[in-house]
Structures are given as C-alpha cells and as structure tokens.
C-alpha cells in the first residue's frame, strides 16, 4: 500500500510539474523583433517590435519566447568581455526560446516559414564582407553560463563568425564552454571560421542537441563544421555537413583535420540520420570526420560521400586512439581510404556499406547506387535497402522525414528508400532439395539449389527442428548450389533442417526444401595417464596407462576423456614451433576432456578427488626451481586452433610457465605463462593457476582476439605479469568467470585482472591481496570495456592508483553486489576512475579502504569520469570517501555516504556493519538489524530495463529484495535470521505471526495496532514489526517456491482443522457411462469424509497430493467394487487460510479416486539424473543412493521410471510423468548438498521411497 501511495504521489507530482511548466510557458511573454519595425519598439507586438535581437534578449525572462521576423541581425553587446568591437556576440538564456522565420504578421509559431523568410544572425559587424573585422563568435556561451536544453534556438542562419586573431580562437558560429548544452532546431551554420571549430565548438561536457541543422561552407584548422572537446557529447539528428573545410596552411585558416567534424579528448557525440559530403581536410586527415584522443562517437544511419583530404588519409573518417561505433552507415565515393585507423584505434562497424570492405557483422562492399552526385538517396536497386540492423534505430523518420523503416529491415545510410517493391516471394526450382555431407558427431554441411526472385534473393533462413538456426546473406547466382556449415550438434541425435529464401523486399518463401539427418553416436573412450605406470603404456587402463600427458593427447579423438593420476606432468612437444626447448607446451583439443585428481584406481570420474590427489601440469622443464629455462607457456593455443567449450580442462594445477626472455621478437612468447589463448575458448573447471609469469601480459592466462574461455571454480594465485598478473583480456576477449579467486597476483597494472576492449562476466569472484606494482588497479584494471561484475569482493589489494579497481579511457564496468574493503593506494583506495570512464555501481559497499595522499579518495577518486552510484555505502574509508578532481562528476542516489552527498535518497548515517574492517581484517559488511540502510534503497535498478535486471540475490546468495524496498550495500539484511527463526516456530505461532504481518502490510504507516499478547509473542521471538512484514512479503508471496521457505512443523493437529472443509464431488457422465458398461453402478453425487489425522501439511494449507489419495473414507456410492477395471475422476478440497488470503488465492486441492482391483507394485524400473552417476548402480530393491556432481552444477533433473505404468511418481512431492525429467532441483545458496526423495505410489496406495543424496565435492 505504501508503495502504491508513493507511486500515486510521484504521478501526481509529475502531473503537477507538467502543469506548472505549461502554466509558466503560457504565462511567459512573446517578445517581437523586426529590424524594420517603426512603432514604439517595446517588443509588445509586431507593430511595436524591437529592432534588434539583443534588446529582446536583455528583457527576456523564464518562459518567454522571442519571435524574430525575416532580416539580418547582428550582435550589439560584448557582455562585459572588454576585448573591443569584435568581442560582441549573442548569448542564449535558459528557458527562453528564440524563434526565426516569421514574416512579421503571424499569430502562431506554427505559421512561420524559415525557408521563405530567412532570419540571419550575422557576425559581419564592420566593413561588409570583410571578415577581418567580424565578431569572433556569433554566439558565445562562456564558462559559468551553463545552458540547459531549455535554451532554444530555432529557425535561423548563423553566419559571419570569425574566431581568428585572438587567443580564444574557437567556434566562429557558436562557442559552448563548460556544460553549455542548448537545443538547436532548424538552424544553418554557414560561412563561419575559426582556428578550431569553424561552425561550432563544444568544450568541457557541453552537449547541445541539434535537430534539422546544416553545417555548410565553414572553415577551420581543426573541425571545419564542428569541433567537440573534453567529454562533449552532442546529439545530432537529421544534420547535414557539406562543403566545410579544414584547410591547412591557407592564410592562417588551417589545420587539416576533420573537414566536417573533429572529436577530441573523450568526446563521443551521437549521430543519427546525418550526411557528410563535399567536406575536405586539405593535405590532412579525416575529410568527413576526425576522431582523436579516446573519442568514441556513435553513428547510426550516417552517410559519407565525396569527402577528401588530398592524400588519402581517411577521406571519409580518420581514427587516432579512438573507437567509434558505426551501424547502418555508408562510406562510399570519398577520395581515398574510406576509414583510416591507427594502431590504437578499434572501431566497431556493423551492417554498413564500406567501399573496399571492412570487418564486421552484416557489412557489405557494394556500390550503394546513390540517385546522383550530391543526392545521397538510394535507387530502387541499391544493395543498401533492407540490409541494415533495426537494433540501434531510435527514430521514426529519416533525413527526409519519411518513415525510417519501410520494409522488414532499415536501410543503410541517412535516407530510407520509400519506393515500392514486388510482393511475390522467392520461388524454388521444380526439383529442389537440400542435401547434407561431411557429417560428424557435432556438425555437417548443408547444400541446396538456390531460389530465384524478380528483385533477387538476398537471404536464406536455415531452420533446425522448426527453429531458426541462422539467417545468412549470401551472394548467390540463381540456380547454383549454396553450402552452409552447421556446428554445435549433439552426437546420436536426429535433426530436421529446412531452408527458406528471402528477397530484397522482405518477402519469404514457405515451401523450401527440407532433409532429416542423424549424427553419429558418440562412443567416448577413457585414456589413462599415470606417471608411475609400469604396464605396456598404451593408455588402455590404469595398469597400462601412458606415463606422459602428451602421449594421451597425441591419440585422443573428439569424445575421449583423459584421466590423469596425481603427480607432475611436463610438456614434451613444441607442436612444430621450432624455437628450442622452451617452446614446448601442451595443446587442448576440441571434444576432449582432460581430468586430473585421480588416485589411479577409480572406475568413475565422480570418484576422483583433485584436492587429495593433486595433478600438476608444470612448465619447469629445465633445472628444477630455476624459472629462467622454464617453457614459455604451459598451455599454448595459437590462432587457427579454434578451441570451443568442448575442450575441457578439469581438476589440475597449472604452474611454472614463464613467458619471459624471448629474443625472437614474437610478442606471443612474452604473454600467457600459464595459458595463452588467441581466438580460442576452452572450458576450465576446478583448475589452479599458480606461480606462472609473463614479461608482458597475463602471467596466469592471456586471452586475445575474441578468446572467450569459460572458467568455473578456478583459482589464480601468485602469478605475475607486466600487466594482468592473474589474467589479461584484450581485443574483444570476454571470458565467463564463476566462483573464481584471484589472490596474491601482481602486475604493472591490473594485478589480478587487466581488461582492454574486452568485457568479461564475473559472478561470485574474489580479488584479494593482488598488487599493481607500477600503477593502476591492484585488483582489476578496465579500459574501453563494459565488464559485468555480480557478487564480487575486492579486499586487501593495492596499487599506486585504484587499489581495488581502476577504470580508465571508457572503462565502464557494471558492478552489482560488490564489496571493496582494506584496499590501498595513493589515489582511490577502493576505486579510481578517470579519462572518460563511467562505471555503474549498484549495491556496492566501500569500507576500510585508504588513499595515502590526503583527501584523494579512500573510497573512490574521480577525474574526467562520470560514475553512477545507486544503493551504495561508502563509510569509514580513510582519505575522504570520494574525491573529485577536474572533470570528476559522479551521480549518486539512494546511498549512504559518510560526510553526506547531494542526491535523491542519500543519507549520512552509520550503516552499522556487523564488524567494521580493521588492519588485516576485511570486517563483516553485513548489516545489523537496526541499520539505517535497511529498506532505504531504490528498486529501480532491479526492475525491467534496470541496470541490475535479473539479479535476484545479494552477495550471500540470499534474496536481494526482502520487503518492499531493497537495502543499501552488497548484503540484504535479515533473511537468514528470519528463516531460521520461523523454522523453529510451531504451526500456530507461524499462523499468528503471519496474521500480524497481514495487518501490518495493509497499513500505510505501520501504526501500533498489535495486541499486548501479539507484542509479547514478537518480543519473545526477537522479531520486530518490520521483520514480520518482511517475512510476510517474502514468504506469503512465494508459498509455491520450495526453495524460498521450508515446510514448517505441523503442530497440534486440532488447531489446524479449521483450514479445511469438505466439498461435494461428482463423477462426470462419461465416467458413469464407462463404469456402467462394465457393470459398475455409480451414484451421481459422492460425498467424502475426511480423516484429519491422516493429513501431513504445513501451516499454510499446502497438502501433498499423495496424502489426499489415502484419506478417503465412507460410502462412495459404487455398487460393485470387485470389477477388474478401474476409472479416474476428480473432486476438490478447499484449503482455507483464514484472513491471510482472499478467496481467489485459496487453493483447490485435487483428489484422485481409483476404482477396481489395484496393483501393489510401487517399484521403480529406472532412475537417472541429468548429471552425475548413482552409487551404487541402480536396482529396484535399493532405495538409498549417493550422487557426486561437478562443482559447476547449479542444479539437476531426476528421471524416474515406474515398473507399473499405472503407478504414480513424485520427486520431492512434485508429480512427474514416468520416464520424464522432473523440474530442476537446485542447490541452495552456497550449499554443496541436497537431498531428493522419489516417492512411488501404487494403485492400491502402497508407497515406496527412494532417497538420493547429491553432493558437490569440496
């Protein structure tokens, strides 16, 4: 109720705010300006209009609009600059709209026409057409003015600004400095010049919004049309850049970079429906656009054509240490190279037409067929039509104002083709078929005869078992065979493949050919390895095991498993590297699992124990203990090996790799001492990387060029590297880490982990005791990435900057349920953010961290960065909780910041941790019961579309939101304590407590409504009102979720009788007719008598169905009970919950009635799990089993098969069909043990229970 009232308040407030805004606008004046007005020039009407724009600006107040008639208007005020006549300029105002394009008679703004009635704002204040005495800036918005989007300019031409000749030579047309972000619509910037930013210059977080704007004929050294500097991110929609020039060495107007636009110093504008044509950077770089110094613009549906530099250095776009994102773009017909990237740039280009080609999903290299020179619209036969991606389209119209998406997919470029296409779908040849070849256990090749179509077949959809496997764009010739390789299949499985064709108009066939194929069955074999084996060493058994791992790898085939006995194994092959002994290494194989931890007697993999029987894979091949002659890599997986997740390493320790000392100049020999992956993605489970080193990157592991390994239960300890002591990820390498530990690793930066242009996903990961010996990020270093960290701890890490974590150069990770404690550095003990980084922190706790430089952020240090903190706690960090240097602009809400912080929902109160961190003690950052952080956060991040959507648990694995609101910090308070208390209650006590909870939750303000007896009960239980409310919300809303709350004690059965009532049931007519045909007479209405003593149920009225089948007593109205046949029918018992639930939430329990001679067979004939093996082997008479599963298992299913088809079976009281899998049984929290009961009930009611104890090894 409180939440509902709050939401009502928010809505009402929002409506009021909108209303207030409307009133302000309607009460604001219209101020008229007409350079030819002859009245009293008070601005009160067209007849009495001001004759200068400055006069109107001088008197304009919040909510006013200035209407300006056609004509030319020049600045008349220097606003106190004191630099002479050329310092005159205009200044916009917040919440004032300046509108041009009027004839001078209109009564509504919509009646104007800025094309027919041009309104010109000119800087030509001196000798006409002599630019040397023009104003420096037509518009100048200096530091401190801080314009917002409410400052509006609409319907003007801005011309004649000449920012040449003084020290502030930026932005001839408009100069926006330090957080000036006005809104510009229907504007033309033409004939302006400057040293930097001829048409417009934006500096220090100035991010104007431009819609329907043209930059034409502007000049500058850098950024002829526009220059964006120092984290300025303007939004451009439907904008044209044409004929602008960055002209190096021409009369002082030069620079030669970014003819149309120049982006510098972490500036990342967003461009949609924009064209760059005819711009030039003479003898320079970036005719259309230049991106430098960590700038990352996002371009969607942008066209570059006809731009030039004169010497081919990125005539369309030039990138220097920048990473722009281009989607649905066209770069064609620019004079030289369409895109030029220096070695430090990493653009992302997808679904774009790039002349000469460019790597990226959906890209093409085909003439876009523009309508004509200077007309960048598309012809009907353009390959750019219907070939873009809709994912990034956020506007409804194109640059012409036509619908942005006409057919199935958006077109590439700024203009959408709006002509008509045929509606007929592709046709297949009269004899068409799809055939298969090269069939393996995991893949095959499909081949089909191509379809035909009037406008050309452009795509094929390949279906696997009625589901779309892939949609591919293929250059096909009608009638020729088309191959497609299918991967990722399962051995011994039948598949049906079908192909359909699509054309350029988005029409798809429906009668394509199909084929069925079964992959070969996999018959895995076990290859045995024991370094002490004395048999024939064929690998066929423990006695005849190979003595080296390499011997097993040499013969292993896909589907094989290699079992390795405890001991130490070293590489013996260099796989053809030919660089000496140190080049020896191991290589994993696809489809082959390497398993360590065996004693040498086991017959099942589940019987091993890798802790008791350590299996060590060592690179110490030379003098024992002398790393200088160790192999470069223990595991080396180069480009071309292409390992997938089927390559498995499990239960081993990897140590002694030393990627150091190579004189070959090959950087691959200087990275990844423990494991080197290039375009390889193996699976690692229960593995330890320890004592590995690299002189460059990744002492423990190095992942480069889209290497995405999966790591579960892995430890990185005491590894070292130039950077990324534990792990180094670079160039789109995004590993997945679950239950991973990084401890005591060291590197120049990123002691534990270093991420560059890579975004790993971390869950339940710990960073402790890691160090960045020369600089940044003791625990983790991020740049140009968006890593995801959920349930992660950073403790005791150290670095010069960012003891726990450093985020640099667009390093923007997303952290949820994370703690930083006892981390140390000079700047930012817990975290340091700078150079355009913008991490998102949700429910993160910082405490006990320190910065040795006084005041420089024991918790966090920010410089030119914009972190966002929600539901966070920063408390008891030394050296200031948060320090902001130049450009540090965090957004903090619903957080507890010691010393206070401005922001919605923030507090400044001791969070009352269970135990504060101290020296060498990370403390216990869970919350005491009376912590002010409980229920003080906001749920928005966890709701649909939120940054933490899908996160349902806290750092402990308990429910993330217990009551109405989430807590602040990484831990949610109270659930473990509450559940343990409730489990100890009697049934009546639970019932009473939940009735109290119902009363509390129905109240808006939680008044003192409890009786003395109720208060006494709560006091005796140690439960507060808020805790009971929390329990009620959590428990009652999820009664059917078994893992949320256990069954409670049933208590005194007489107290529970009021939960039930009998309901009449009847046999339906079909059942009566069936029984009558067999000589059995059944009355129409059957009344049942219930024996309460036979019930077994919890206090909420949840009655197991098996119990209901056994409690029917009395006359069922059946004339004969000796017939051999039987029938089924249903009746209902209603489970009441008194006042706890409304009638629509009370359950109707089904009763099963059986008639006839009933079987007593309650045996199982089969019992399997989706993972693990039963011990002992299943036998119907054996009822107790143990099952060992892998540490990575989060759950499993159980498949029971009954000996008698008429028997019923349940798994943990949930019915399943015989021979089918149950619902997933999950391990709770960090539990490593779960008990499962399988109950078989014969027709006669006889029961037999089978018990499974499922364990994860320690």
Return the number of other C-beta atoms located less than 10 Å from residue 189's C-beta.
Answer: 29
**1063-1098 pLDDT, tens per residue?**
334 444 555 565 555 555 554 334 433 433 433 333
Whether 444 is in a domain gets the answer yes
**830-872 pLDDT, tens per residue?**
999 998 899 999 999 999 999 998 889 999 999 999 999 999 9
Q: What's the rounded mean pLDDT across residues 502-529?
A: 84
d(CA 807, CA 811) in angstroms, rounded, equals: 5
**915-939 pLDDT, tens per residue?**
888 777 778 999 987 899 999 999 9
Reply yes or no on whether the pLDDT at 295 is more than 70: yes
Same domain, 873 and 964: yes
Of 1098, 1121, 1154, which residue sits at a domain end? Answer: 1154
Same domain, 807 and 931: yes
Same domain, 1111 and 1073: yes
Whether 96 is in a domain gets the answer no
Same domain, 730 and 693: yes
Q: What does the H/E/C string look like for 1-46?
A: CHHHHHHHHHHHHHHHHHHHHHHHHHHCCEEEECCCCCCCCCCCCC
Range of the domain at 991: 975-1039
Of 971, 1003, 1022, which residue sits at a domain end? Answer: 971
Query: Phi, psi at residue 176, to the nearest 5°?
Result: -110, 120
Of 953, 971, 989, which residue sits at a domain end? Answer: 971
Whether 453 is in a domain gets the answer yes
**636-672 pLDDT, tens per residue?**
999 999 999 999 999 999 999 999 986 665 668 899 9
Q: Which pLDDT band, with edges at 50, 70 and 90, does 95 fall under?
A: very high
Same domain, 1007 and 1072: no
Reply yes or no on whether the pLDDT at 1112 is more than 70: no
- Those residues with Cβ within 8 angstroms of residue 697's Cβ, 6 or more apart along the chain or in another chain: 670, 671, 672, 721, 722, 723, 724, 728, 730, 754
d(CA 1248, CA 1097) in angstroms, rounded, equals: 19
Same domain, 809 and 949: yes
Q: What's the rounded mean pLDDT across residues 604-628?
A: 94
What's the pLDDT at 458?
74
Q: What's the rounded mean pLDDT across residues 234-262?
A: 81
d(CA 545, CA 524) in angstroms, rounded, equals: 17
**968-983 pLDDT, tens per residue?**
999 998 544 444 444 4
Same domain, 950 and 980: no
Same domain, 566 and 482: no
Same domain, 770 and 692: no
Same domain, 792 and 930: yes
Whether 379 is in a domain gets the answer no
Position with higher pLDDT, 999 vs 928: 928
Three-class SS state of 553: helix
Same domain, 1090 and 1112: yes
Number of separate domains in the chain? 6
> What Å distances lie between residue 1171 and 558, 605, 701, 1168, 1196, CA to CA?
20, 12, 29, 8, 6
Beta-strand relationship, 526-529 and 561-565: parallel
Position with higher pLDDT, 1045 vs 745: 745
DSSP 225: S
* Confidence (pTM): 0.53
Return the number of other C-beta atoms located less than 10 Å from residue 61's C-beta.
Answer: 11
Q: What's the rounded mean pLDDT across residues 466-485?
A: 68
Beta-strand relationship, 1065-1066 and 1195-1196: unpaired
Whether 36 is in a domain gets the answer no
**1134-1186 pLDDT, tens per residue?**
333 333 334 443 333 333 344 444 578 999 999 999 999 898 999 999 999 98
Same domain, 807 and 712: no
CATH code, domain carrying 1200:
2.60.40
Whether 1172 is in a domain gets the answer yes
């Amino acid at each position: 109720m409180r939440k509902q009232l709050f939401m009502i308040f928010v809505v009402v407030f929002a409506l009021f705010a909108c209303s207030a805004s409307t009133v302000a606008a309607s009460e604001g004046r219209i101020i008229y300006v007409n350079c030819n007005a002859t009245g009293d020039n008070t601005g009160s009407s067209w007849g009495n209009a001001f004759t200068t724009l400055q006069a109107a600006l001088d008197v304009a107040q919040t909510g006013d609009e200035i209407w300006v008639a056609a004509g030319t208007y020049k600045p008349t005020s220097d606003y106190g600059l004191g630099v002479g006549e050329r310092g005159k300029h205009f200044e916009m105002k917040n919440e004032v709209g300046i509108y041009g394009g009027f004839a001078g008679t209109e009564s509504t703004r919509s009646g104007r026409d800025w094309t027919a009635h041009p309104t010109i704002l000119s800087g030509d204040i001196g000798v006409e057409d002599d630019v040397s005495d023009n104003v420096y800036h037509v518009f100048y918005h200096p530091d401190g003015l801080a314009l917002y989007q409410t400052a509006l300019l609409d319907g003007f031409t801005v011309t004649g600004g000449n920012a040449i000749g003084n020290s502030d030579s930026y932005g001839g047309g408009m100069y926006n400095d330090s957080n000036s972000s006005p809104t510009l619509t229907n504007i033309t910037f033409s004939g302006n010049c400057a040293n930097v930013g001829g048409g417009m210059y934006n500096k220090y977080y100035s991010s104007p919004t431009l819609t329907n704007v043209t930059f034409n004929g502007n000049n500058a050294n850098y950024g002829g049309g526009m220059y964006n500097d120092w984290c300025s991110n303007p939004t451009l929609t439907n904008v044209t850049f044409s004929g602008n020039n960055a002209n190096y060495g021409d009369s002082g107007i030069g620079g030669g970079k970014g003819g149309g636009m120049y982006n510098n110093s972490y500036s990342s504008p967003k461009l949609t429906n924009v064209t760059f044509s005819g711009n030039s950077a003479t003898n320079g770089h970036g005719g259309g656009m230049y991106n430098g110094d960590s700038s990352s613009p996002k371009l969607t549906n942008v066209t570059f054509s006809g731009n030039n530099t004169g010497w081919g250095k990125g005539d369309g776009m030039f990138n220097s240490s920048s990473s722009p994102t281009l989607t649905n773009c066209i770069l064609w017909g620019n004079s030289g190279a369409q895109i030029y990237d220096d070695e430090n740039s990493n653009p992302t280009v997808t679904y774009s037409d790039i002349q000469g080609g460019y790597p990226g999903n959906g890209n093409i290299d085909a003439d876009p067929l523009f309508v004509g020179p200077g007309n960048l619209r598309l012809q009907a036969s353009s390959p750019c039509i219907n070939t873009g991606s809709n994912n990034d389209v956020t506007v409804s119209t194109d640059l012409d104002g036509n619908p942005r998406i006409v057919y199935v997919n958006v077109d590439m470029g700024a203009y959408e083709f709006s002509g008509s296409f045929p509606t007929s779908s592709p046709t297949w040849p009269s004899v068409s078929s799809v055939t298969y070849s090269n069939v393996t256990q995991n893949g095959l090749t499909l081949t089909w005869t191509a379809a035909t179509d009037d406008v050309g077949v452009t795509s094929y959809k390949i279906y696997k078992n009625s589901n779309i496997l892939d949609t591919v764009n293929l250059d096909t010739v009608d009638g020729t065979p088309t191959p497609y390789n299918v991967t990722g299949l399962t051995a011994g499985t039948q598949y049906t493949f079908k192909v359909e064709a699509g054309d350029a108009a988005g029409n798809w066939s429906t009668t394509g050919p199909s084929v069925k194929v079964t992959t070969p069955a996999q018959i895995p074999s076990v290859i045995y390895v024991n370094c002490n084996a004395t048999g024939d060493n064929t690998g066929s058994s423990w006695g005849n095991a190979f003595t080296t791992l390499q011997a097993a790898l040499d013969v292993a085939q896909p589907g094989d498993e290699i079992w390795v006995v405890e001991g130490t194994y070293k590489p013996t092959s260099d796989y053809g590297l030919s660089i000496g002994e140190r080049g020896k290494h191991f290589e994993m194989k696809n489809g082959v699992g390497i398993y360590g931890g065996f004693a040498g007697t086991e017959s099942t993999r589940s019987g091993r124990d890798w802790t008791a029987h350590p299996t060590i894979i060592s690179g110490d091949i030379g003098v024992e203990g002398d790393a200088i002659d160790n192999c470069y890599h223990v595991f080396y997986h180069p480009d071309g090996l292409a390992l997938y997740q089927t390559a498995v390493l499990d239960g081993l320790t990897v140590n002694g790799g030393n990627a150091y000392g190579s004189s070959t100049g090959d950087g691959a020999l200087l990275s990844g001492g423990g494991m080197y992956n290039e375009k390889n993605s193996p699976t690692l489970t229960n593995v330890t990387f320890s004592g590995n080193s690299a002189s460059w990157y990744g002492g423990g592991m190095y992942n480069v060029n889209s290497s995405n390994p999966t790591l579960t239960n892995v430890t990185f300890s005491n590894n070292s590297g130039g950077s990324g002591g534990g792990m180094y990820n670079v160039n789109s390498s995004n590993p997945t880490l679950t239950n991973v530990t990084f401890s005591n690793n060291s590197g120049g930066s990123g002691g534990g982990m270093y991420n560059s242009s890579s975004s790993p996903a971390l869950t339940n990961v710990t960073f402790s005791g890691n160090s960045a010996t020369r600089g940044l990020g003791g625990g983790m270093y991020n740049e140009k990435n968006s890593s995801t960290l959920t349930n992660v701890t950073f403790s005791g890490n150290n670095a010069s900057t960012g003891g726990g974590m450093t985020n640099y150069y667009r390093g923007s990770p997303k952290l949820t349920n994370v703690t930083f404690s006892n981390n140390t550095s000079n700047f930012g003990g817990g975290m340091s953010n700078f150079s355009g980084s913008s991490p998102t922190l949700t429910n993160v706790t910082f405490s006990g961290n320190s910065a040795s430089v006084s005041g420089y952020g024991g918790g966090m240090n920010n410089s030119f960065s914009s972190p966002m903190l929600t539901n966070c706690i920063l408390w008891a960090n030394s050296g200031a909780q948060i320090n902001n240097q130049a450009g540090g602009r965090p957004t903090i809400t619903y957080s507890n910041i010691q010393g206070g912080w401005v922001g919605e929902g923030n507090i400044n109160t001791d969070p009352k941790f269970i135990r504060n961190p101290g020296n060498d003690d990370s403390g216990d950052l869970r919350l005491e019961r009376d912590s002010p952080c409980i229920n003080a956060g906001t749920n928005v991040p966890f709701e649909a579309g939120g940054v933490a959507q899908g996160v349902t648990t806290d750092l402990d694995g308990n429910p993330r939101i217990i009551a109405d609101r989430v807590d602040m910090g990484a831990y949610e308070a109270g659930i473990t304590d509450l559940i343990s208390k409730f489990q100890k209650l009697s049934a009546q006590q639970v019932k009473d407590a939940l009735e109290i909870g119902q009363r509390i939750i129905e109240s808006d303000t939680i008044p003192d409504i409890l009786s003395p007896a109720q208060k006494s009960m709560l006091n005796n239980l140690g439960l507060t009102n808020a805790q009971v409310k929390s329990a009620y919300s959590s428990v009652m809303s999820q009664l059917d979720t078994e893992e949320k709350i256990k069954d409670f004690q049933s208590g005194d059965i007489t107290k529970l009788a009021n939960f039930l009532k009998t309901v009449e049931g009847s046999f339906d007519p079909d059942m009566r007719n069936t029984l009558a045909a067999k000589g059995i007479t059944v009355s129409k209405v059957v009344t049942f008598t219930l024996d309460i003593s036979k019930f077994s149920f919890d206090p909420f009225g949840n009655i197991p169905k098996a119990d209901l089948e056994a409690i029917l007593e009395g006359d069922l109205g059946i004339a004969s009970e000796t017939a051999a046949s039987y029938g089924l029918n249903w009746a209902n018992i209603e489970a009441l919950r008194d006042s706890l639930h409304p009638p629509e939430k009370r359950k109707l329990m089904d009763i099963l009635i059986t008639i006839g001679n009933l079987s007593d067979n309650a045996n199982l004939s089969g019992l399997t799990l989706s993972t693990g093996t039963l011990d002992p082997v299943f036998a119907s008479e054996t009822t107790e089993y143990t099952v060992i599963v892998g540490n990575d298992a989060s759950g499993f299913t159980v498949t029971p098969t009954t000996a008698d088809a008429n028997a019923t079976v349940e798994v943990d009281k949930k019915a399943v069909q015989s021979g089918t899998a149950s619902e997933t049984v999950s391990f709770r929290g960090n539990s490593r043990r779960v008990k499962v009961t399988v109950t078989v009930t014969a027709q006669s009611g006889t029961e037999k229970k089978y018990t499974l104890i499922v364990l994860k090894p320690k």
